[in-house]
Amino acid sequence: EDQVTQSPEALRLQEGESSSLNCSYTVSGLRGLFWYRQDPGKGPEFLFTLYSAGEEKEKERLKATLTKKESFLHITAPKPEDSATYLCAVQALGNNNDMRFGAGTRLTVKP
Amino acid sequence: KAGVTQTPRYLIKTRGQQVTLSCSPISGHRSVSWYQQTPGQGLQFLFEYFSETQRNKGNFPGRFSGRQFSNSRSEMNVSTLELGDSALYLCASSLDGRPDNSPLHFGNGTRLTVT
């Protein structure tokens, strides 16, 4: 069965303190791995799609990378407005288009 | 461009009642997916509709159902509510329902509380 595990559950950083979030996955053939950001009381907001090992994508202070077993979301010099829950999801090969989500990492950036 | 709109934002219902949630997708998007989000289980896939047809269904009981209209708007219905149905219900739309091809865009959800 497809599984997605995110770590750590929660992360507290000082403003400017860079770090990485981890997403480990087990899937019978990967069609895509997705990163979303969710603010309290809101729906997830799409960040990145990664398709194959070695791929990297960047957006402002965020960079997502992908290996055959895990993905990292690197946050460089974070700001308080980066505080949110970051969700990772995978889509497996096959006819179904549903995504399997991890439990998320709750990031807090202190000024 | 307007985002995904879900109504109502909050609902309080009693066990045994039924509820209907509504979702208006982004203009031009033909696929609508529904997810349930709870603190214990996280985000779980309910079902996906494309051009008024249910294409995929998650592992939820038959009390959970949905439909899609010709204008791509979608409704989700939960009958015989149970306490465990309390959750945030999220709707997501995309051009073709393939996340690897067209990212899913989520609404802000309907918070359902069953008492």
- What is the average pLDDT across A69-98? 92
Q: Does A29 touch chain B (CB under 8 A)?
A: no
- The two three-digit tokens of residue B45, written as one number: 């896939």
CB contact under 8 A, A101 and B42: yes
Higher pLDDT, A96 or A93: A93
Pairwise CA distance, residues A107 & A105, whole Å: 6
Nearest CA in chain B to A89: B43
Q: Does B81 touch chain A (CB under 8 A)?
A: no
CA distances from B90 to A45, A108, B83 (A): 12, 24, 18
Contact assignment for B44 to A101 by CB distance below 8 Å: yes
User: B65-92 burial string, b = 16+ CB within 10 Å, else e?
Assistant: bbbbeeebbbbbebeebeeebbbbbbbb
pLDDT at B1: 67
Question: Mind listing the pLDDT tens digit for each residue in A9-54?
Answer: 999 999 999 999 999 999 888 999 999 999 999 999 999 999 999 9
Residue ranges in chain B whose pLDDT is less than 50: none
Q: Any chain A CB within 8 A of the CB of B45?
A: yes
> Residue A81: helix, strand or coil by DSSP?
helix
Q: What pLDDT was estimated at residue A2?
A: 85
DSSP SS3 for B83? helix
Tell me the shortest Cα–Cα distance from A42 to chain B, in angstroms.
4
Per-residue confidence (pLDDT) for residue B35, from 0 to 100: 97
Q: What is the pLDDT of residue A1?
A: 79
